[in-house]
Amino acid sequence: MAGQKRVLLLCGDYVEDYEVMVPFQALLAYGLSVDAVCPGKKAGEICRTAIHDPLGHQAKIFVQDVASVPFATYSESKGHNFVLNATFDEIDATKYDGLVIPGGRAPEYLAMNESVTDLVKKFEHLQKPIASICHGQLILAAADSVKGRKCTAYPAVKPALIAAGAHWVEPETVAFCTSDGNLITGATYVGHPEFIRLFIKALGAKISGSGKRILFLCGDYMEDYEVMVPFQSLQALECHVDAICPGKKAGDTCPTAVHDFEGDQTYSEKPGHNFTLTANFEGLDASSYDGLVIPGGRAPEYLALNDEVIQLVKEFMESGKPVASICHGQQILSAAGVLKGKKCTAYPAVKLNVVLAGATWLEPEPIHRCFTDGNLVTGAAWPGHPEFIAQFMALLGLTVSF
């Protein structure tokens, strides 16, 4: 694409799961080109990711109330396998418009790698936007890129940043971000919406159609990426996004599931992050929303049996408002009887539900293929998020231009 913005994503083993995938897929959905690299690895190889989730009472507040929180520590478990799409040794910094550095544990060892710090120094020398989050700022400190600059991070990184000469800005909330010239820094993945928005605006982005109200239909053990990636991607574009779950209220959490493709005949499952709901299910006025998103995972199996869920989905479909459903989410659409005469896809194991519901099955080949039929966007699995989000944005009249 002529004039397409190019971004480099600096990865490593045990990079934080959300902090690598959310910006990666959000930027792709907005039409940017993103290359993900890791020193010592080539395109097609993987980086292991880490799920960092809060621990204890303080950390429960840490997630649920971003207005006033004490920071606590976090637990770690294994996340998805993240596939690199470029080779580190072939990277030319002059060919990119910006750099993103995720957090997690990867920055601890990447900061010791001279080829990594040299790369960061090149972006800094060229005054190209650099966005770093959580522990990623360890790399900035090692590259001598924070001296005299306002900078925030996960609080445990504070001593290293101060020692490197940064003007430390205390993160008042876990969603806190700040910018200083070409440098954008954030405290944790809770702040992704502002973090991503500041980055694309530094690249010259103009957002139009913002202000839309979007509803996410959630449940226990929905797929981790399939809720958070579209949720934060839409928030970053200044949409009001609410997440609800039957039987739960704003501030409650839903456990998520990591569904990954690791060479078995079907997907594997691991525990994911805990996802915080933002609105009450009971008493919800669905007519106040402009669109609906249904994540996949295991949640749709039981949500499809809930009469109030079925009624909610019918209301959106009958109104003609945009509805986007991915993976196993189409089990809910099938149960609601709204697929008859529609063309759609889903995770291949859900084909039976879709066909029995009277829809025309569209083969998801490759797995990232997504389709739009009228007001309905359907996708097969989280690798298709860039297409899934972009097609939903088109129905909402939401655009990012440069």
Residues annotated catalytic, as ranges: 134-135, 327-328
Contact indicator for 99, 8 with CB cutoff of 8 Å = yes
Burial of 180 (0-12, 13-18, 19+ CB in 10 A): middle
Look up tokens 């600096």; give the residue.
Answer: 10
Half-sphere exposure of 85 (CA within 13 A, CB side): 13
Give pairs for 64-73: CB < 8 Å, separation 24+: 64/251, 64/253, 64/276, 65/251, 66/173, 66/174, 66/175, 66/190, 67/173, 68/173, 69/173, 69/174, 71/154, 71/155, 71/171, 71/174
Length of the chain measured in residues: 402
Q: What is the rounded CA–CA span in Å between residue 141 and residue 162?
A: 9
Contact indicator for 35, 93 with CB cutoff of 8 Å = no
241 contact partners, CB below 8 Å, separation of at least 6: 213, 214, 215, 216, 231, 234, 235, 278
**Residue 141 Cα to chain centre, angstroms:** 26
Half-sphere exposure of 90 (CA within 13 A, CB side): 9
Q: What is the rounded CA–CA span in Å between residue 250 and residue 277?
A: 5
Q: What is the rounded CA–CA span in Å between residue 354 and residue 334?
A: 6
Q: What is the rounded CA–CA span in Å between residue 80 and residue 20?
A: 10
**Which residues, listed in sequence order, are joined to residue 399 by a DSSP beta bridge?**
208
Burial of 284 (0-12, 13-18, 19+ CB in 10 A): middle
